């Protein structure tokens, strides 16, 4: 079996041109084991339009990408074990993974979950300032900036407010 990093890289290479041709972008890819099963999870996105308005991924977009990727992977057969291919949108509460995600969503409300409590809390909500010098930086309701070292952050997700 090729390593998970190689599978992720191959998947991203296979999708690069196809996604661009279809007005889509790759948000995140992971190949991981959950219990006894393996999953190749591919999260696709649409970039904002010319006016900066968010565009959303449809179920048809996911199906199109899934069919294309499934055919390419069947041709190459790089994954020895059985696995489930899942193509989806990262969702409204999308997790931020890379610097580009932190840059794109700066100014938006986020939820930050920590491994260990800071000042008695493991969860914080605030306006994302960004990923600065290895720290996730948010601004709380009072306007105070709080920085969390990235290695202490379980995950940062966009907050969903109704």
CATH number of 4-88: 3.30.300.70
Picking from 7-11, 55-59, 82-86, 124-128, which range would have the lowest pLDDT averaged per residue? Answer: 55-59
Half-sphere exposure of 156 (CA within 13 A, CB side): 29
- Give the pairing of strands 109-118 and 153-158: antiparallel
CATH number of 95-158: 2.30.30.180
Sign of CA dihedral 53, 54, 58, 60: positive
DSSP state of 43: E
Q: How do residues 97-155 score in pLDDT, each as one tens digit? A: 999 999 999 999 999 999 999 999 999 999 999 999 999 999 999 999 999 999 999 99
Q: How do residues 62-110 score in pLDDT, each as one tens digit? A: 999 999 999 999 999 999 899 999 999 999 999 999 999 999 999 999 9
Cβ neighbours of residue 161 closer than 8 Å, sequence gap 6 or more: 109
- Give the pairing of strands 135-139 and 121-132: antiparallel
Per-domain residue ranges for the chain? 4-88, 95-158
Q: Is 70 helix (H, G, I), strand (E, B) or coil?
A: helix
């Amino acid at each position: 079996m090729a390593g998970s990093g190689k599978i992720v890289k191959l998947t991203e290479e296979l999708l690069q041109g196809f996604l661009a041709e279809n007005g889509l972008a790759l948000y995140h890819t992971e190949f991981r084991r959950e219990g006894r099963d393996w999953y190749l999870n591919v999260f696709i996105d649409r970039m904002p339009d010319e006016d900066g308005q968010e565009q959303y991924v449809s179920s048809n977009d996911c199906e199109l990408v899934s069919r294309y990727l499934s055919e390419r992977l069947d041709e190459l057969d790089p994954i020895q074990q059985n696995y489930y291919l899942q193509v989806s949108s990262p969702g409204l509460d999308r997790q931020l993974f890379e610097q580009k995600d932190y840059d794109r969503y700066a100014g938006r409300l986020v939820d930050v979950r920590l491994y260990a409590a800071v000042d008695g809390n493991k969860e914080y909500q605030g306006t994302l300032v960004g990923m600065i010098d290895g720290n996730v930086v948010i601004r709380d309701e009072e306007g105070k900036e709080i920085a969390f070292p990235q290695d202490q952050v379980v995950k940062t997700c966009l907050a969903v407010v109704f």
